[in-house]
Amino acid sequence: MSLVNELKERIIAGGEISREEALQLFEEPVEDVAQAADEIREKFCGNGFDICTIINGKSGRCSENCKFCAQSAHYNTGCTEVYDLLPTEDILREAKYNDQQGVLRYSIVTSGKRLSDEELDQVCESIRRIKAETDIEVCFSFGLLNEDQLRKVREAGATRAHCNLETSRGYFPEICTTHTYDQKIETLKAAVAAGLSICSGGIMGLGETLEDRVDMVFTVKELGVKSVPVNFLNPIPGTPYENNRPLTEEEARQCVAVFRFIIPDASIRLAGGRGLLSDKGRECFQSGANAAISGDMLTTAGITVQKDMDMLKELGYRPQLRED
């Protein structure tokens, strides 16, 4: 029996793979790993597909120096989207629009290290209005909040907190020095303590190694994460990574397939950079991925929700909210 089939059968029987075995999968034929990952996805997740959209609730002038980001104030990226926290009516209008399109989750994302208490009160009012006037689930990414702040957001009606690890612990200092890996992990643990589910993944193409990619996914697995965004770097002019080589389509498939082996029952969520793929992620959705961020991304063009809904139907998926 091939290594791919051996590991697939072990996972389907309820077992796990090691870090070393995950790295070995990157050396196996992509088609074999992708097909096996799709079988694992079907076994543990069925044909449900968790689709979400993002609203850029506060944009630009970010104090953090993440080397990949158009919104960082440390780099001259020509980011034209610069504004304070959006008023409730704007956030609510987008939520209603996405709800009508059949989107399951709506994520409010804000720039900066963390929202102030005043901003948090304002956005909690927005969340209360969304929950009162739509059926959509609310997720959020408000930076490095503490447990009390996170509990306040949950009590307003949000159900999931997002905080990407971005990469491995070992490589993170190469990407950002204005906050630490441990601060991110503390935020995720605080979210769980506050009664929220958590969403955390990373960006492929930052100059990291395969070992870094695998280590990041094992870390989110240890934290109990069941929603794992997989971003592919879209190099932004003016950032230190403006000349990084984007991942090939084969490398993208390889990543989502191996990640499926590591966390068999997760929502492996294609996120930023999906638009760089010529098929907009279709092959990845046949290689272990079973969730996506649709619509426009934070500062880069995305893919329309309707086109995604049509693709999912063609692939035999149905929109389904996956709870952790």
From the list 134, 123, 122, 131, the residue with the least C-alpha distance to 98 is: 134
- DSSP annotation of 87 reads P
Neighbours of 281 (CB within 10 A): 27
| DSSP annotation of 299 | S
User: Is residue 83's pLDDT more than 90?
Assistant: no
Beta bridge partners, 114, equal 143
Alpha carbon dihedral 207, 230, 107, 227, in 10-degree steps, equals -130
SS3 271: coil
Quickly state the pLDDT bin for 305 (edges 50, 70, 90).
confident
Per DSSP, what are the bridge partners of residue 49?
319
pTM score over 0.85 = yes
Which of the listed CATH numbers 3.30.1330.20, 3.30.420.40, 3.20.20.70, 3.60.15.10 matches domain 19-319? 3.20.20.70
Supply 281's token pair: 């992620």
For residues 4 and 61, the model is more confident at 4
- Among residues 62, 54, 112, 60, the alpha carbon closest in space to that of 83 is found at 60
Nearest to 229 by CA among 199, 189, 184: 199
Please state the rounded mean pLDDT for residues 42-46: 97
Residue 319, φ and ψ in degrees, nearest 5: -60, 130
Q: Kindly report the average pLDDT of the chain as a whole number.
A: 93
Would you say residue 297 has pLDDT above 70? no
Residue range 169-201, pLDDT digits in tens: 999 999 999 999 999 999 999 999 999 999 999
Q: Torsions phi, psi of 213, nearest 5?
A: -60, -45
Contact by Cβ (8 Å): 222, 291? no
Give yes or no for a contact between 212 and 52, defined as CB atoms under 8 angstroms apart. no
End-to-end CA distance of the chain: 34
Q: Which range among 106-120, 164-178, 296-310 shows the weakest confidence by mean pLDDT?
A: 296-310
What residue spans define the domains of the chain? 19-319
Of 15 and 58, which is predicted with more confidence?
15
| Enclosing H/E stretch for 261 | helix 249-262
Over range 50-77, report the average pLDDT: 82
Beta-bridge partners for 292: 51, 270
Q: Which amino acid is at 214?
A: V
How is residue 118 written in tokens? Answer: 């005043």
